[in-house]
């Protein structure tokens, strides 16, 4: 029998190999996932797409991710997370080939749907890294893995860069090459999971569902969906918002949007680490409160205040300059990222052995919210005519979250204290 110290050393050595691979895979998958957020603008110009067709192209990756999230998690439990991750990466590679060959809307729509395989990679990847992590490091490891969504920001940089130098079609080619390299590294450096040593493997779907008779995981999935869905929806909306609000080129708006995505994604590491030290509820509550303060300032539209004086009318112009707007957007991204990392840890701890299914629930909830919010944003802009309405909507949504989560965390803590043996 191996001593506990030797087993811990082996676990850390394995984690040191699989975590960078899993994060790299998620970076590429997230980059593919948001490809049409910027490239879709060029596709619309090339094919003369209507607003409905363009909106469908943007929504397809989110919709398919929501559909695949839970089935991919169940498949990871049944057949092994590594195998599902490889299938998802190979499918994304096929989508890149389609993008290089197609010149029709149907072809682009098919590829956009295939990009939803990035959601399947997330579900399986969470199980993959969780199975090699002890609970005292779980928040940090999950935060590092979740930070892989920084890949979404790389697309915002690569598409304008390639479009200026060659054509945006160079981005799918670059992603295809990297996907082939990552798949090769997975095959070389990792082996198939062993059902004996990996207790999450080989579990039938019926058994997985039976483990979730308690409501807490389902509630946490909804809370995660509100925060992560808001983050994803705003990431998709920001390039157009910044370009329209400040009269910038689309490429400039996309580059500025990176300062929301990348710090927010990396903040998941901070949120997970702080949760390991101070507990998830405290970190989530304070992070969301910080986000609400940023949204309060971002919600104010440019306005003119007229004050009737004794002899004249005093006119005061109020509008946030671009640098101030950028600062509040960065703060908002970091706050949402910390909350996402903490919520992810809290949900996985509820049922660590079924981490892939939990990840599927989280992603299903997040993608559903991210699918609906842009529609709400567009309708609000059309009816109200104020661009900052999107921040007002998020402010109301997160206020409701703060109230509901405070009640949930108090009840959850009370139930844990009443459990036998605690």
For residue 144 the two structure tokens come to 């590092």
SS3 191: coil
Question: How far, rounded to the nearest angstrom, does the alpha carbon of residue 41 sit from its chain's CA centroid?
Answer: 22
| Per-residue pLDDT of the chain in tens (422 residues, 90 and over written 9) | 455 565 566 666 777 788 889 999 999 988 888 788 778 777 888 888 876 787 788 778 888 888 888 888 888 888 888 899 999 999 999 999 999 998 899 999 999 999 999 989 988 888 888 877 777 777 788 888 888 888 877 777 777 777 677 777 788 888 899 999 999 999 998 877 655 445 555 555 555 555 555 567 888 889 999 999 999 889 878 887 888 888 888 778 877 888 898 899 889 999 989 998 888 899 999 999 999 999 999 998 888 787 887 778 888 877 888 888 999 999 999 999 999 999 988 888 877 667 777 888 888 899 888 878 887 887 888 788 888 899 999 999 999 999 999 998 888 777 665 554 43
Other C-beta atoms lying within 10 Å of the C-beta of residue 212:
17
Return the exposure string of 370-400: e unless at least 16 CB atoms fall within 10 Å of the residue's CB, then b. Answer: bbebbeebeebbeeeeebbbbbbbbbebbee
pLDDT reported for residue 213: 54
Q: Where exactly are the structural domains of the chain?
A: 11-411
Total-model pTM: 0.80
pLDDT reported for residue 41: 75
pLDDT reported for residue 85: 93
Question: How far, rounded to the nearest angstrom, does the alpha carbon of residue 346 sit from its chain's CA centroid?
Answer: 16
Q: How far apart are the first and last CA of the chain?
A: 31
Q: Dihedral of CA 10/11/16/19: which sign?
A: positive
For residue 375 the two structure tokens come to 């529609």
Domain at 11-411: CATH code:
1.20.1250.20
SS3 388: coil
SS3 304: strand
Other C-beta atoms lying within 10 Å of the C-beta of residue 411:
12
| Contact predicate 304/318, CB 8 Å | yes
C-alpha to C-alpha distance for 320 and 56, rounded to whole angstroms:
32
C-alpha angle 294-149-138 in degrees, rounded to nearest 5: 90
pLDDT reported for residue 1: 47
pLDDT reported for residue 305: 80
C-alpha to C-alpha distance for 326 and 294, rounded to whole angstroms:
11
Q: Dihedral of CA 96/180/166/32: which sign?
A: positive
Nearest by Cα to 370 from 192, 210, 236? 236
pLDDT reported for residue 209: 54
pLDDT reported for residue 191: 77
């Amino acid at each position: 029998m191996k001593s506990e110290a030797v087993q811990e050393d082996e676990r850390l050595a394995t984690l040191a190999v699989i975590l960078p691979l899993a994060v790299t895979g998620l970076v590429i998958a997230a980059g593919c996932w948001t490809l049409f957020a910027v490239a879709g603008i060029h596709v619309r110009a090339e094919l003369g797409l209507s607003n409905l067709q363009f909106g469908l192209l943007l929504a397809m990756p989110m919709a398919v991710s929501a559909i695949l999230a839970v089935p991919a998690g169940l498949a990871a439990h049944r057949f092994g997370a590594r195998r599902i991750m490889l299938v998802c990466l190979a499918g994304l590679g096929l989508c890149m080939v389609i993008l290089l060959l197609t010149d029709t809307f149907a072809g682009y729509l098919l590829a956009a749907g295939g990009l939803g395989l990035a959601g399947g990679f997330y579900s399986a990847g969470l199980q993959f890294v969780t199975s090699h992590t002890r609970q005292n490091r779980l928040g940090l490891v999950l935060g590092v893995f979740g930070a892989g969504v920084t890949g979404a920001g790389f697309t915002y940089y690569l598409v304008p860069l390639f479009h200026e130098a060659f054509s945006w079609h160079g981005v799918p080619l670059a992603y295809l090459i990297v996907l082939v390299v990552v798949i090769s590294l997975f095959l070389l450096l990792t082996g198939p999971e062993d059902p004996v040593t990996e207790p999450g493997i080989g579990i039938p779907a019926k058994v997985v569902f039976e483990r979730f008779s308690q409501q807490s995981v389902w509630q946490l999935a909804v809370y995660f969906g509100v925060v992560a869905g808001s983050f994803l929806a705003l990431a998709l909306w920001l390039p157009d918002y910044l370009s329209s609000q400040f009269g910038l080129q689309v490429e400039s708006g996309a580059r500025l949007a990176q300062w929301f995505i990348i710090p927010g994604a990396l903040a998941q590491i901070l949120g997970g680490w702080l949760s390991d030290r101070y507990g998830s509820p405290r970190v989530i509550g304070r992070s969301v409160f910080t986000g609400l303060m940023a949204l309060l300032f971002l919600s104010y539209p440019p306005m003119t205040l007229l004050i009737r004086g004794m002899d004249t009318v005093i006119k005061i112009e109020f509008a946030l300059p671009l640098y101030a707007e950028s600062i509040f957007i960065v703060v908002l991204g970091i706050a949402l990222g910390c909350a996402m990392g903490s919520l992810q840890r809290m949900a996985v701890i509820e049922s660590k052995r079924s981490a892939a299914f939990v990840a599927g629930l989280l992603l299903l909830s997040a993608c559903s919210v991210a699918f609906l919010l842009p529609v709400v944003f567009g309708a609000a802009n059309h009816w109200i005519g104020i661009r900052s309405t999107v921040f007002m909507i998020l402010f109301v949504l997160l206020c409701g979250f703060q109230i509901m989560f405070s009640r949930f965390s108090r009840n959850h803590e009370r139930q844990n204290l009443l459990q036998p043996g605690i």
